[in-house]
Amino acid sequence: MNKDIPPDFKVPGFLAAGISAGIKKNREKDLALIYSEVPSVAAGVFTTNRVKAAPVLLSMERIKAGRARAILINSGSANACTGKKGLTDGRRLSRLIASSLKINPGNVLLASTGVIGKPLPMSLIEKNLPRLLSSLAPDGLGNVARAIVTTDTFPKAVILRQQVNGREITLAGIAKGAGMISPQMATLLSFVITDASISLKALRQSLKEGVQESFNRVIVDGDMSTNDTLLILANGEAKNREITLGTPGYKKFVLFLHDLLFSLAQKIASDGEGATKLVVIAVEGACTASEAERVARAVATSALVKTAFFGEDANWGRILCAAGYSGAPIDPNKIDVYFDDVALVRRGQGAGPAMEEQATAVMKKKEYTVRINLNRGKKRVSFFTTDFSFDYVKINASYRS
């Protein structure tokens, strides 16, 4: 898996910048801005946690209009559980950015990540806004990717180019997320920009479809963040025929966006806090997609299963146990479990010591698939998950220190 910022990482009509404003103790980049030089349609999905950070509340309200020009992001302070001050600070930063860029404050979206309950260091941010604005450049998106990370070990960045409706369009995305990762788009920060010409309805629907099959299928620790946000801006600079719902161009764009989000999701899962393994939980043979998802989520979230992954222990009983409490109407006597191509469980019973030994060999790999066949139907679902290591506890035990 490529962990570097891709070459030629830029999208026509967009400028970006990421700088160190001193919000983080380590003086790494922590303040970023993405700006479209022309009006853009915008869509977003946000955390389903009832405790929502100030930037989430403000962006959720502004995204309803379907228009945006700028995204201001900081790391090191979540601006969550900060009361009216958090909202006031967010609005003030929006006005300052809007004034400098000569745009409407309602066209400025916000995102923050960091320690919950910690107010924004407004004096630091305001002092550094002029430098942030003067740093805006076509090739600045890589610095944004670096500025939004917290416990991540590498910046997540993907760029794709493809012909859609008569023109080549560019789709670029960045993301952060190493802990507090669980489905329901309550998991991370991600920002996608494209020069595609696309209707607002088509953009919203394509994002909804893309998220369901990518970010909503990633589990690191099962915790749901207060801040998680995915935003997409499309500025039309590719000059393609407008992409609209129900057309061949739309279908092509949905697959295009899915590929980008899936790649970002895979990078996020591989960089789970302290993770040493990336495991795909693939449930098949279900009667419904919901049934398959319940089983996959239960197995992917189980602390006992994840610690077994870390210990390279082919403890298939933990997998069947998680499937059993998932709430899905399974028949335990029909379940088969495979580690890659190794049949570990057949019809709900262990396949014997020799197969366990082969499965243990599979578990020594950095990436592998646990395939669970319910043998009830034809529906299937896959989730990304990771192991739980000693380092996961160390990282989260000292997060604020």
The DSSP H or E segment spanning 54 is: helix 54-63
Please give the DSSP secondary-structure letter assigned to residue 315.
-
- Choice among 82, 187, 194, 226 that is catalytic: 187
Nearest Cα to 175, choosing from 50, 262, 241, 288?
Answer: 262
- Asked if 229 is an active-site residue, the reply is no
SS3 33: strand
Nearest Cα to 240, choosing from 167, 172, 163?
Answer: 167
Q: Cα(118)–Cα(296) distance, rounded to whole angstroms? A: 35
The DSSP H or E segment spanning 295 is: helix 289-301
Tally the C-alpha atoms within 13 A of residue 58's C-alpha that lie toward its C-beta.
30
Q: Report residue 53 CA to chain centroid gap.
A: 17
Cβ pair 345, 337 in contact under 8 A: yes
Q: Cα(231)–Cα(40) distance, rounded to whole angstroms? A: 12
Please give the DSSP secondary-structure letter assigned to residue 6.
P
Query: 123: which 2 tokens?
Result: 């004096």
Q: Cα(6)–Cα(171) distance, rounded to whole angstroms? A: 12
SS3 73: strand
Q: Which residues, 6 or more positions from 340, have their beta carbon under 8 angstroms from its beta carbon?
A: 362, 368, 369, 371
SS3 241: coil
**Residue written as tokens 């025929």?**
241
- Residues forming the active site: 187
